[in-house]
């Protein structure tokens, strides 16, 4: 069976494997699908954290005196 999607081999400690297996069985999906979904969720969470850091940095340096009004931006 060929696939267009790349594959990833991962070695898990037994307790982690047991947890992924339990979630997969509870949701009625394959281990591969469950692992993929968990990785997607982790990447989303990580990305959200990075955007939050950037927003906090920008907010700390924000100046109301230098900010443009709505009309100045959109005419």
pLDDT tens, position by position, 57-67: 999 999 989 99
- Whether residue 55 lies inside any domain: the answer is yes
- Whether residue 45 lies inside any domain: the answer is yes
- Whether residue 3 lies inside any domain: the answer is no
Cα separation, 28 vs 20, in Å, equals 12
Rounded to the nearest 10 degrees, what angle do helices 14-27 and 31-60 cross at? 100
The model's pTM is: 0.74
pLDDT tens, position by position, 29-48: 999 999 999 999 999 999 99
Q: What is the DSSP string of the chain?
A: ---SS--------HHHHHHHHHHHHHHT--HHHHHHHHHHHHHHHHHHHHHHHHHHHHHHT--TTTPPPHHHHH-
- Whether residue 4 lies inside any domain: the answer is no
- Whether residue 7 lies inside any domain: the answer is no
Q: Which domain covers residue 59, as residue numbers?
A: 14-74
- Whether residue 58 lies inside any domain: the answer is yes
């Amino acid at each position: 069976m060929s696939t267009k999607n790349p594959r990833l081999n991962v070695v898990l400690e037994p307790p982690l494997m047991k947890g992924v297996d339990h979630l997969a069985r509870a949701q009625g999906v394959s281990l591969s699908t469950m692992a993929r979904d968990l990785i997607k969720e982790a990447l989303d969470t990580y990305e959200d954290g990075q955007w939050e850091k950037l927003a906090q940095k920008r907010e700390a340096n924000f100046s109301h005196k230098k900010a443009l009004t709505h009309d100045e931006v959109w005419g």
